């Protein structure tokens, strides 16, 4: 394993899982690591109970979105339907995303700063890549897919973080705590984690889905009821 690929990842108590997997490229290792971390959770919590967020909150994020990833959308719907008895808040097909990092609230960051940030990231140049999505797992507040490999995502995150430092708008969370995943449902109340694990197990053997990552977006994120919505501000083409 390339030691340089691990330099950015450390144990972070605020992250889930707290520790990174022992290998960033092996889908089986990543999936087992995510599942083991969820195995330590006793009770899932309400994802929406987040201090500082309200219907008027607006914040800028780096995100990967999947509006045309038909296979991923179909698989997410399949899993959501199978888990409908849990009564969670499903993510709509146009809401599937992989969060790379929070830039800051719209009250903290002005458009000129976003323009400067985007210009610096454009100069860094990063190549497109593919991700394998599966199996299904969960965290303290959401049902989600494991993704692999992590290496291109970690390297992309580090590029975005470095650009943020250079332009005075550092990411809220350092690359050391980055734990990539794709959520499909948010927990909306306390739920025994054992109940969720029992529901997830039959779905963990589904085949992986491949998605191409060719763009990264700066979005202005907001909450509407029990869902996230966003507006694209800048789109970075990977090439």
Residue 91: strand, helix, or coil: coil
Q: 19 CB contacts (<8 Å, ≥6 apart)?
A: 11
Please give the domain boundaries of the chain with CATH numbers for all domains. Answer: 16-50+65-237 (3.90.1140.10)
Report the alpha-carbon distance of residue 69 to residue 14 in Å, rounded.
30
| 139-159 core/surface letters (b: 16 or more CB in 10 A; e: else) | bbbbbbbbbbbbbbbbbbbbb
The secondary structure of residue 120, as a DSSP letter, is H
Between β-strands 43-44 and 228-237, what pairing exists: parallel, antiparallel or unpaired? Answer: unpaired
Sign of CA dihedral 170, 19, 151, 141: negative
Strand partners, 131: 211
What is the value of pTM for the model shown?
A: 0.95
Report the alpha-carbon distance of residue 54 to residue 56 in Å, rounded.
5
pLDDT tens string 76-92? 999 999 999 999 999 99
Number of H-type helices and E-type strands within the chain: 5, 11
pLDDT tens string 46-103? 999 988 888 899 999 999 999 999 999 999 999 999 999 999 999 999 999 999 999 9
* The predicted structure's pLDDT at residue 5: 41
State the CB neighbour count (10 A cutoff) for residue 195. 13
* The predicted structure's pLDDT at residue 49: 93
- The maximal CA–CA distance of the chain, rounded, in angstroms, is 49
Q: Which of 136, 127, 156, 43 is nearest to 82 (CA)?
A: 136
């Amino acid at each position: 394993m390339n030691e340089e690929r691990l330099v950015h990842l450390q144990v972070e108590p605020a992250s889930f899982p707290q520790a990174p997997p022992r290998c960033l490229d092996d889908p089986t290792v990543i999936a087992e690591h995510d599942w083991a971390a969820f195995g330590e959770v006793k009770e899932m919590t309400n994802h929406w109970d987040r201090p500082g967020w309200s219907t008027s909150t607006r914040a800028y994020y780096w995100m990967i979105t999947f509006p045309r990833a038909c296979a991923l959308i179909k698989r997410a719907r399949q899993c959501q339907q199978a888990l409908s008895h849990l009564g969670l808040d499903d993510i709509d097909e146009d809401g599937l995303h992989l969060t790379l990092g929070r830039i800051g609230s719209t009250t903290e960051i002005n458009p000129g700063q976003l323009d400067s940030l985007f210009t610096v990231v454009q100069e860094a140049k990063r190549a497109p890549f593919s991700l394998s999505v599966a199996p299904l797992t969960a965290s303290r507040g959401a049902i989600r897919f494991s993704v692999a490999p992590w290496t291109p995502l970690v390297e992309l995150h580090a590029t975005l973080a470095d650009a943020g430092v250079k332009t005075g708008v550092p990411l809220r969370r350092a690359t050391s705590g980055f734990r990539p995943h794709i959520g499909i449902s948010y927990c909306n109340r306390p739920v025994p984690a054992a109940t969720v694990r029992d529901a997830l197990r039959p779905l963990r053997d589904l085949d992986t889905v491949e998605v191409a990552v060719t763009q990264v977006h700066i979005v202005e994120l907001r909450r509407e009821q029990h869902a996230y919505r966003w507006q694209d501000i800048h789109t970075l083409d990977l090439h």
